[in-house]
Every structure is written in structure tokens, then in C-alpha cells.
Chain A
């Protein structure tokens, strides 16, 4: 009966080894961090993602019960086998050892099955959650995505889902297992001797106290460390993205100082947090030994009073050990669940936002579309109107240029026309129909746009160009590339159209990126074309070439151009000069020059000195 030393020892080592062998390993185990603000609500909402897998969940539960019962009963046969050795009874020994081994084998098989099903369930649940989140984010109105900081949005889609992923895949079954162990051992202890069982309950109190204290102390420093890590990351990121400026302006020392400060603070917080949490092991070990002594002293006294048998005390040692370990583990899992739920809350916050409505009628063919802005007022922040009672009529098939100083509202006009934002008052009409009545996707499909900030994707040049329609052939691309002055660039690429643009095309010059974006827009064969400072970094001869092509091109109907370079827009049918969100003057190049207003002043500045 006294083989419990071996059992105690093994139980302990096994659980600790298992804890660190979870998928992801010790390095990826989450540290205690934030707390969710609405624990219960978020918890049940997360649970709902499992509803399709409820049968698998029951199966997991069943298998966990089987595993635990096997691994709880196997030690009994082992101790009986040892009793046989003590009694030198070799006949019963092979049978007992056989049962013991088969129980362990069974428990192993159940555990294997259980882990496999858990892995499959967590894979499905996470894919479901990720898919839903991504879908929601790309369908959010631009106002919402602009309002969120990009880093925050990205971290919700990456870190927060990752945290949920690792909790779901690793903690789910160990949590059930721990609870089961706790209940079973407590029941066994009560059955042996309830007085001693109650005394042993101090074990729970003590280990809970230690766990909670240690976690609370380390939590503070882990949170602080997370913040400092954020600072450190942004220092590195900023210094690297602005590397040229840092070098050109001798800012290395400043950057290094800032980095070193964060780094020192990071090491300090990490040191405290890790030290505190690494003292948990020795402390729990000590508590276990204290409980051993407590049970020994009280047990001996009870046994003299006849309340418990000597064998009962031995069994008690085993169970009291099995008792404290789950308490520690449950509290660790609990704090992981908290971190994951805090992330889940941020994800749910995004999922609760409304998508852009895709209802509305077909806009039909917009090849010859007239566009009209009727008394449109708009502000990004309440009280600061960017467009103020703005009215403009663009005739079907004409080329109109928007001119005006920075901040006069040119890009806003386009944001509204694309329905990235909605006007506060007034309406925008295409062919006399309010664009708010159109299906927003169909509307955008008919408008080709080249934005001020060029965005390319990390894919081949071909995939970037045929972004609108993947059925386009290389001949189509060659034609559009000719029009947009991109042919030379493509022929200079090592693998032509198949060249991969690494890092979203960051190795291209600004001018080249703009040319790619223009070609991409041409290839979408739009009914309406919008160029927002699309050629600002392209040299004027190439720009001229593009414009000539556009005149002949793919019978594009209405065209809206924003540019600072007046040479870009001189041949527009109509030039609209904007000033502080209002239409200041409008007319053809010649008319505006004669008028002697803002435009003619702009023009004379641009061509100052030319007369000499």
C-alpha cells in the first residue's frame, strides 16, 4: 500500500509535461493579461460557434470521462500488484499487471481519440469565426474602417483570433479533465473519511490563494510588458519604414535611445512578471508538502481515534495530490480564457457593426452618364463641413477636371460618388437617379478609379492588372499596358507579367506604381473613370501619352480628373475650381483664363517665367 510516492511523483510530472506539450508549446502559451468586461455574455456568444459541433462536443466529454476513469482506476491495480510483491504471491501478479497495462492502453486510446476530435472541432470553429470576421470587415462601410486605427483592426483579426484559437484547441479538454479529476478525488476523499476530507479542503483554499495572488501580481507586469512591447514594436516599425529619413537626418541616436529605454523597461517588467510566475511551481510544491504533513498528522490522530484505517490514509495521500494540481491548472486556464474572451469581445464589437447594404436597383448601362451633385453638404466630423451646399452638373460623356488647393474638398467629391461616404444632406444623381437607390456593388463596378494613394497587392503583376476580371487575356493586358505607358516597365521585368510584386510592390517607384494602378483601372473597362492625382509622380510626357490614349480608349464615357498639374487637365471639357468646399468657378480652360479668377492666377503662377 505504500507505493504512493511513485504515484504522486508521476502524476505531478505528467501533468506538468502535458501542460507544456499542448499544440503551440510552452512558448506560445498565453500569459495572463486582460479581463473581459462582460464575461458571461461573451462566453455564451463564443459557445454558440460550437453549436454545429455539439455532437462532437458530447463525444469529447464522453471520451474525457472514460480517459479519466481509466487513469484513476489503473493505479489501484498497480498498488495491488505491489501488494502481491510484498506478499510474495507471484500467481496473481501477471493478471494484475495485465489489467493495469490494458487500462493505461485504453486510457491512451481514449485520449488519442479525444485529442483528435478536439483538434478537428477547434479547426472548424476557428475557420468559421475567422471567415465571418473577415467577411464582415471587408463589407463594413468605409466610414467605420477609416475611424478604426489600422493597427487595431489588424490586431483584432490576427492576435485576437489566434488567442481564441489556442484556448479552444488546448484548454477545452484539459479544463473538463481538471474539473472531473477534482470532483472524483473529492468524492473519493469524502467516502474514505469526511473529517479528513474537510481538513484537506484547506488545500484548495491555500492553493487558490497562492495562485490568485501570484497571478494578480504577475498580471500587472504582464499587461505593462505588453504595452511596452507595443511601444518597442512601433519604434522599430517606424524607424524601419522611415529608414531613409532616419539616416538622412542623423536620427539614429534618438531612435536608439528610445528603443533602449523601451527595451530596458521591457526587460524589467519581463523579469518581475516571469520571476513571480516561475515561483508558482516551487510554491505549489511546498503547499503539497504541507498538505502531506497535515494529512499525516491529522490522519495519525484520527486513526488512533479509530476514524480512519491506515490504508485509508495512504489512499488519502494520493487523492490529496490529485486535488491541488487541478486547482492550479483550472485557475491558469481560467486566466487564459479571460484573455481570449477580452479578444472575443473586440471581435464581437466588429461583428455587431452593420454591413454596407447591398440592396438597391441595377444602375444599368452608365456609358453615357450625366452626374449631378445637388446641394450636397458633407462633413467628416460634425461641425466642420468639407462640402458646403455643393452643386455640380457633369454632362454625359464629358471630361471634367476638379482643381483647387489642398483641403478644398476634391477627394471628398469622389468619396461621395463612390458611396464610400454618404452626404449629410443633398443628393447625388446619375442619369437623374439618386445613387443611394443603386446597388452599391453594381455602382462601383461601373466606375473605374485610380486613388491618390496607390495600393498594389503582393501577387504577380498579371494578377494585379486583371484585378477586376480574371478572365482577361494577355492581349488585353498588352493593349491596356500600351495605353497606360506600362509596356516598357513590363518588358523590363525579369519574368514579365509573372514577376511577383513582393511586399505589396514596395520596390517599385511611385511613378511605376501609379502606372500599374492606371492600367488596372483601364482593364476594368469602366463606364465612368475617376483619376485622383493619379499621375502626380509620372513624368509629363508619359502622362500626355496616357491622356491621348484615354481620348481614344475603350469608349470611356464620363471622366473625372483631379490634378495639381494644370497641364494634366487643360484639355478637359470643363474645369471646376473648388474653394473651401464650394464651387468657385467653372468653365473651359480658355473661359477661365479670360475670367481672371482663381484659375487664371493658378495658371500664371505655374507658367511664371515662361514669357521671358
Chain B
């Protein structure tokens, strides 16, 4: 799946490889020029042992040309390898994020939030590095290995024997180190994540840490995470510290063997001394390219871990199918028909056999204990999840028949936790719409009783909102979230405990605005306060996912013991 992204830019990869091949060829050719400059120009072989400046100048000119073309090829291969890896990574990054945006809520629940962030950023970077290295490194290393071995064998069978003995030793070393370090690198990442999460929690919860005077304990747990991380780093460093000297020793033993066996052949007259020197050069080339291959393996093993993690995201199927319907036969009509729903992975039903009808323009209030399924009900209408049994109807049509974006532009949900975005206050109210009229924004803010406090902000509607709405109080955030819903002028409005941080006067005024100015809008209001729900046309009482009563305030007072006891808990003192 991921290779598809890379293959799209195959021509860059090919160009990079071709340039790299030329660069390596130049690299392989250059020592010969240098050797002839040294042997003939300086040592003066064939020139009475005297330096020959003319020869140096003429060969030097050739070498200059070759060098320049090698440099050109090297840069060219870098350009194309980068074009390839960056373009492919960019494409992959966009696709990955696009796919995540299309996730259902159940799918986002499956991935921890932090992990989706690293998957779209650092994992893709890792993959890009791998692609870049594979193209340039693998070509370079393969060519050196191939050219070196061929040249070595052509020189002498003894040299070939040295290669055959040394190579497995080096390969065994490399395999050993990869085998040892790969799990350590995985564990390094885990320890790093753990340390970062300890830091994050302590910064975010600094008031709790201080209130409970637990600085010493937190420092202790920080220290132990820091030590864990440092230990893994230390173990990796120790392993790598041994790798290089070990390779060096094997390499030089091999060189010594080449020189000695060469010397024996030279003595018996089977070989020129020059061939021995060439043998030493080729031996180094071969073993060094093996070492380079080890590094490439390491990048590949990290890169393939990243590829796996990205693949997990890309392989996610669209869970909520899309329909085509934009508007049904009875606009604004909302009903539940024997709806049951369980969250993925949980045992019990969050909603169990719930039914109700809500006429267009009507108001339904929902009340019930913590965890009784109120928010779940709201989530099903906007189709954040699909009901397991029964059907959720909007406009008298099953929500699954609607186009998701059309459905969600008809239904506005104000969530329990107000989520704000970085941008100005006005941008937030306009809900990400690029071109909006300021009058509309102000109108929505007025209806949500937010206008007054917004105007008191340093830059009014143009005041930037920090990430997560920092700088605003809970009540202010809630009013901005309500403004955002009212701005959209949708047919169905759901307030999911969205006024809990507001004082009563403000809440009452907002509810009054809704009644007066949004009389044609179907309203569903979830609340804890009985005063908030009392004036609704219809009140649904939920208890452990089941409907424990439905009707007007007075009907429920008569028929529902749960409703009465909630009422009593709030009204008792007054009696």
C-alpha cells in the first residue's frame, strides 16, 4: 500500500540511481588517475625517476574534468533522491491525514491520540529517510561490493579466498549487532514516550501536584523514567562502541592477509607488486561497503516499523457508509425506533431499546444520572456512531440514507467539552468557514450571550484564541461553542450539557433566545439541572441506557419516580 506512494515517483528514483551509478564510476576510476600521476608524474617511473610536470599537468587536466563531472553527478543524484523521497513522503502524509479525518469515532478510539500524531509526522519522516538512503546508499554500496569482488577475484584466487573468509565474519558481526540493537531501539522509543508523558502530565496537572505536595514523589517517578531511558541509551552506546573497533580489527587482519599472500605470490613470480596494492584497496572497498550496508539495514528496520504503523492507518476501511439523501420528507422531524447501541469493546448496551418522536420545531429535553446514555443518544443523531439495532430517523428517514456531510450540516451538536481552535474568536464562531459576514457572527454571539464578553476582550472579535481555548474561562468557552452552533442555522440543534459552566441568568437568556428566534428549529437539550429541562415540550428520562419515562414535566412528576427524585434533589431545600 505504501509502495504505491513511492512508485508514483519512480522516474525520480531512476534518475537518482543513474546519477549515482555515474558518480560511483567516477569514484572507482579516479584512483587510477591518481596512481598514474603518482607513479609516472612524481615517482617518474619511465622518466628516469624524476618528476614529470608535463605529465602531471596533462593527466591533471583529465582528472579535473572527471572530478567536476563526478561532483555534478553526485549533486544531481542528491537532487533527484530528495525530489523522490520528499514528494513521495508528502503524498503519503497528505493521504494519511486525509484518511484519519475520515475515521469514525470508533476508529479514533482505537488509536491513542498521540500515536496518530507521530504516525503522520515522525513515522513518515523515518520512511522518507529510509527511501533516500535506500536509493543512494544501496546503489553505491551494491556497486562497490560488486566491482570490488570482481576486481579482487580477477587479481588472484588467494585474494578471493581472503574475501570468502572475511566476508562471513563481517556479515556475522553485522547481523549480531542488528539483532542486539533493533529491540533496544524499539525500547528506546517506548522509554522516550514514557518520559515525555510523565513530563506532560506534571505540567498540565501542576496545580494538583502542588495541592497534594507531591513534588518529591513526582520527581522520584520522573527520575526512574529518566534513568530507564538513559540505561537503554547507555546499552545502545556500549554495543555501538564495540562495533566499530571490531570491524576495524577484522578489516585490518584481512588487509594483512592480502599483503602476506600477495607477497608470497610476488616472490614466486606469479604477481606484480602493483596488484597487491590494488588488492588492499579493493579489500577495503568491499568491507566498507558491507558496513554501509549494515547502516542501511538499520534504517530499513526502523523504516519498516514506521511503514507498518502508517500502513495500519491507511488500511482502515471507511466504517460508516455514506448515503446520498440531503433532505427527507418531513424536515426537522427526529425520531428513535427501538434503538440499541453498545460501544465497541464494551459489554453492556449504552442505549437499550429507546424510542421517541420529536416534531419539527419541538424541544426535547433529556435528563438522567451520570453515565445513563444521554451523550450517546446525541452522538447517534449526528451519526458519530451507527445504532446496532433499531433506527435513528431524521426527516422521517434513517440517518444511514443521508450523505454524512449533508446530515451534519443539518444537525448542529454543541458538545459537553467545548472544543475551540486556534484562530480569532470570529473564526471560531464561523466554524472554519473561510468567508463569513461579521454581522452574522455578531448575531450568533448575541444569541449565545457571548457578545458582551467578546467585546470586552482586548481585540474584540479579532482576539486570537489560544490552543484549546486557553485564556478563556469555562463559561466563555461554552458560549463560543454555542455561538458556533447557532451561526450555522441548521434545522436540528443539540445541546449536550453545553451550559453547565454558565450561571443561571445567562443560561435562561440563551434558552429564551432559542425559544423565540429558533422556533422552527428542532431542539434537543441535555442537562443536569431540572430548571433547564422543565420548560421543554417533552422530557426524556434516561437511566442506564433505558427510557425511564417520557412526557411533560407534570406528567413525569406523576409517573416517573426517578424524575421526581431528581427534582427533589434539586428542589428539596425550598420545600
CA distance A503 to B193 in the complex (A): 12
CA distance A89 to B266 in the complex (A): 10
| Closest Cβ–Cβ distance, residue B108 to chain A (whole Å) | 6
Cβ of B208 and Cβ of A608 under 8 Å apart?
Answer: no
CA distance A126 to B231 in the complex (A): 11
Residues of A within 8 A of B109 (CB): 507
Q: A21-B243, A271-B83, A540-B530 are in contact. Are A158 and B199 (CB under 8 A)?
A: yes
Interface presence of A73 (CB below 8 A) = no
Q: A88-B266, A259-B94 are in contact. Are A458 and B260 (CB under 8 A)?
A: no
CA distance A449 to B212 in the complex (A): 9
| Closest Cβ–Cβ distance, residue A362 to chain B (whole Å) | 14
Cβ of A90 and Cβ of B86 under 8 Å apart?
Answer: no
Cβ of B101 and Cβ of A256 under 8 Å apart?
Answer: yes
Instruction: Choose one: B230, B249, B259; the contact of A123 (CB below 8 Å).
Output: B230
| Closest Cβ–Cβ distance, residue B6 to chain A (whole Å) | 14
Interface presence of B415 (CB below 8 A) = yes
Which A residues from 449 to 502 make CB contacts under 8 A with B? 449, 451-453, 455, 457-458, 467-468, 470, 489, 502
- Stretch in contact with the other chain, from B233-241, B355-363, B389-397, B439-447: B233-241
Q: A27-B302, A260-B94, A266-B90 are in contact. Are A564 and B67 (CB under 8 A)?
A: no
Interface presence of B304 (CB below 8 A) = no
Cβ of B263 and Cβ of A540 under 8 Å apart?
Answer: no
Instruction: Choose one: A162, A264, A313, A536; the contact of B42 (CB below 8 Å).
Output: A313
Closest to A252 in B: B101
Residues of A within 8 A of B405 (CB): 250
CA distance A14 to B247 in the complex (A): 10
Interface presence of B204 (CB below 8 A) = yes
Cβ of A6 and Cβ of B292 under 8 Å apart?
Answer: no
| Closest Cβ–Cβ distance, residue A185 to chain B (whole Å) | 19
CA distance A512 to B372 in the complex (A): 12
Cβ of A418 and Cβ of B211 under 8 Å apart?
Answer: yes
Interface presence of B473 (CB below 8 A) = yes
Closest to B75 in A: A279
Cβ of A540 and Cβ of B529 under 8 Å apart?
Answer: yes
Residues of A within 8 A of B382 (CB): 247-248
Cβ of A254 and Cβ of B263 under 8 Å apart?
Answer: no
1/0 per residue A116-150: CB within 8 Å of B? 10111011001100110011011100100100011
Interface presence of B169 (CB below 8 A) = no
- Stretch in contact with the other chain, from A197-205, A280-288, A363-371, A430-438: A280-288
Interface presence of A406 (CB below 8 A) = yes
Closest to A152 in B: B203
CA distance A542 to B569 in the complex (A): 9
Interface presence of A594 (CB below 8 A) = no
Which A residues from 183 to 238 make CB contacts under 8 A with B? 229, 232-234, 236-238
Interface presence of A552 (CB below 8 A) = no
Q: A267-B90, A313-B42 are in contact. Are A25 and B566 (CB under 8 A)?
A: no
Interface presence of B210 (CB below 8 A) = yes
Cβ of B116 and Cβ of A151 under 8 Å apart?
Answer: no
Cβ of B212 and Cβ of A539 under 8 Å apart?
Answer: no
CA distance A292 to B38 in the complex (A): 10
Instruction: Choose one: B234, B295, B572; the contact of A119 (CB below 8 Å).
Output: B234
1/0 per residue B87-113: CB within 8 Å of A? 101100110011011110100110011
- Stretch in contact with the other chain, from A42-50, A101-109, A326-334: A101-109
Cβ of A107 and Cβ of B531 under 8 Å apart?
Answer: no
Cβ of B280 and Cβ of A537 under 8 Å apart?
Answer: no
CA distance A463 to B201 in the complex (A): 14
Cβ of B504 and Cβ of A455 under 8 Å apart?
Answer: no
Interface presence of B375 (CB below 8 A) = yes
CA distance A242 to B571 in the complex (A): 36
Interface presence of A601 (CB below 8 A) = yes
1/0 per residue B59-84: CB within 8 Å of A? 01001100110110111001101110
CA distance A244 to B384 in the complex (A): 8
Closest to A93 in B: B263
CA distance A281 to B572 in the complex (A): 81
| Closest Cβ–Cβ distance, residue B101 to chain A (whole Å) | 4
CA distance A250 to B488 in the complex (A): 11
CA distance A17 to B285 in the complex (A): 12
1/0 per residue A142-170: CB within 8 Å of B? 10010001110110011000100100010
- Stretch in contact with the other chain, from B216-224, B310-318, B332-340: B216-224
Interface presence of A566 (CB below 8 A) = yes
Interface size, chain A (Cβ < 8 Å): 181
Q: A9-B31, A405-B505 are in contact. Are A236 and B196 (CB under 8 A)?
A: no
Instruction: Choose one: A27, A239, A609; the contact of B101 (CB below 8 Å).
Output: A239
Instruction: Choose one: A292, A310, A405; the contact of B506 (CB below 8 Å).
Output: A405
Interface presence of A555 (CB below 8 A) = no
CA distance A601 to B39 in the complex (A): 105
Residues of B within 8 A of A553 (CB): none
Cβ of A300 and Cβ of B117 under 8 Å apart?
Answer: no
Cβ of B94 and Cβ of A263 under 8 Å apart?
Answer: yes
Interface presence of A557 (CB below 8 A) = no
Q: A536-B500, A605-B504 are in contact. Are A275 and B78 (CB under 8 A)?
A: yes
| Closest Cβ–Cβ distance, residue B360 to chain A (whole Å) | 21
Q: A88-B266, A406-B476, A539-B370 are in contact. Are A242 and B419 (CB under 8 A)?
A: yes
Cβ of A6 and Cβ of B284 under 8 Å apart?
Answer: yes
| Closest Cβ–Cβ distance, residue B76 to chain A (whole Å) | 9
Residues of B within 8 A of A81 (CB): 256, 259
Interface presence of B326 (CB below 8 A) = no
Residues of B within 8 A of A10 (CB): 284, 288
Interface presence of B416 (CB below 8 A) = yes
Closest to B562 in A: A541
Cβ of B467 and Cβ of A234 under 8 Å apart?
Answer: yes
Interface presence of B417 (CB below 8 A) = yes
| Closest Cβ–Cβ distance, residue A310 to chain B (whole Å) | 6
| Closest Cβ–Cβ distance, residue B515 to chain A (whole Å) | 12
Instruction: Choose one: A13, A116, A249, A511; the contact of B241 (CB below 8 Å).
Output: A116
CA distance A82 to B240 in the complex (A): 32
Residues of A within 8 A of B420 (CB): 242
Closest to B253 in A: A101
Cβ of B197 and Cβ of A108 under 8 Å apart?
Answer: no
Cβ of A256 and Cβ of B291 under 8 Å apart?
Answer: no
- Stretch in contact with the other chain, from A52-60, A339-347, A389-397, A439-447: A439-447
Cβ of B79 and Cβ of A406 under 8 Å apart?
Answer: no
- Stretch in contact with the other chain, from B155-163, B406-414, B517-525: B406-414
Q: A236-B116, A249-B432 are in contact. Are A130 and B226 (CB under 8 A)?
A: yes
Instruction: Choose one: A25, A116, A123; the contact of B298 (CB below 8 Å).
Output: A25
CA distance A237 to B15 in the complex (A): 37
Cβ of A100 and Cβ of B252 under 8 Å apart?
Answer: yes
Cβ of A297 and Cβ of B38 under 8 Å apart?
Answer: no
Residues of A within 8 A of B87 (CB): 267
Instruction: Choose one: A6, A111, A453; the contact of B277 (CB below 8 Å).
Output: A6
CA distance A142 to B266 in the complex (A): 81
Cβ of B534 and Cβ of A275 under 8 Å apart?
Answer: no
Q: A279-B74, A310-B51 are in contact. Are A2 and B43 (CB under 8 A)?
A: yes
Residues of B within 8 A of A18 (CB): 244
Residues of B within 8 A of A242 (CB): 419-421
Cβ of A245 and Cβ of B203 under 8 Å apart?
Answer: no
Interface presence of B484 (CB below 8 A) = yes
Cβ of A26 and Cβ of B234 under 8 Å apart?
Answer: no
Residues of B within 8 A of A241 (CB): 113, 419, 468
1/0 per residue A535-555: CB within 8 Å of B? 011111111100000000000
Cβ of B213 and Cβ of A445 under 8 Å apart?
Answer: yes
Interface presence of B538 (CB below 8 A) = no
A-B pairs, top 3 by smallest CB distance, nearest first, are: A282-B74, A108-B245, A115-B241
15 example contacts (A-B, Cβ-Cβ < 8 A) are as follows A17-B288, A85-B273, A157-B203, A169-B233, A233-B121, A249-B488, A271-B86, A275-B82, A296-B41, A300-B42, A300-B56, A451-B208, A504-B204, A512-B370, A533-B501
* Seed contacts A9-B31, A420-B210, A540-B566; 14 additional CB < 8 Å A-B pairs: A23-B233, A108-B248, A115-B238, A145-B203, A236-B97, A238-B422, A247-B105, A271-B83, A293-B64, A405-B506, A406-B453, A489-B371, A536-B501, A606-B504
